[in-house]
Amino acid sequence: MTTSTAPKAAPKVALVTGASRGLGAAIAEQLCYRGWHVVAVARTVGGLEELDDRVRHAGLPGAGGLTLAPMDVTNDDAMRHLCRSIHDRWGGLGLWVHAAVHAAPLAPAGHLDAKDWDKSIATNTRATGMLIPMVEPLLRAQGGTALFLDDPRAGQPFFGAYGATKAAQIALAQSWQSETRKHGPRVVIAAPAGMPTATRARFFPGEDRTPLADPKIEAARIIESL
């Protein structure tokens, strides 16, 4: 009599761009606790390592794993190589969470800093437009979902650089959502509650942060809504 062992099920794989801090890090962490293998992308190596430490120290049974990818989403070659590596290793993606953002300091529209303006365009808008064609085949391969995080600041005083480029990012996501509604991949645009993140602190210094949502709770709510 012989006993066969069933092959181990392939892990659910998620790509989280902007995973080193704030809501992106919280979503990456919560996905790991739910059994996903997360490819965590960010420029901040220390933030990625802290994320890895939190997941390891939690020691939850059934937790997934982490692949740390310290790179800039504006580097087309690096991101293209990463997407190819994901294809070669796992064959596709079940989820892409795009949380990478550049939060330029608040400034009047008549006094925008050229470097901050260029970086806002590169990170918030151009990178999104370049990443969608790279990630779409990976999501199609596994019937996956793309998740974008809205923060509607367009037209608000002093939010010119951030508000305009974030609005452009969401407009791209909305077009993609309309185009893929019938045949996929599924595109979801979520509107997170206000949270005590570093980005919000730059916008609202001195704000009473007591009533703001816990990023971990908000991350869990968003994941469950998917």
In a structure prediction context, what are the per-residue pLDDT tens digits for the chain, which is 226 residues long? 433 344 455 679 999 999 999 999 999 999 999 999 999 999 999 999 999 999 999 887 778 899 999 999 999 999 999 999 999 999 999 999 999 999 999 999 999 999 999 999 999 999 999 999 999 999 999 999 999 999 999 999 999 999 999 999 999 999 999 999 999 999 999 999 999 998 899 899 999 999 999 999 999 999 999 8
Fold that domain 12-221 belongs to in CATH: Rossmann fold (3.40.50)
DSSP state of 72: -
Task: Map tokens 């309309």 to a residue.
Answer: 178
Rg (CA), the chain: 18
Q: Where are the domains of the chain?
A: 12-221
Token pair recorded at residue 68: 């740390």
- Tell me if 96 sits within 8 A of 15, measured CB to CB: yes
Token pair recorded at residue 161: 């650089």
DSSP state of 208: -
- Tell me if 71 sits within 8 A of 82, measured CB to CB: yes
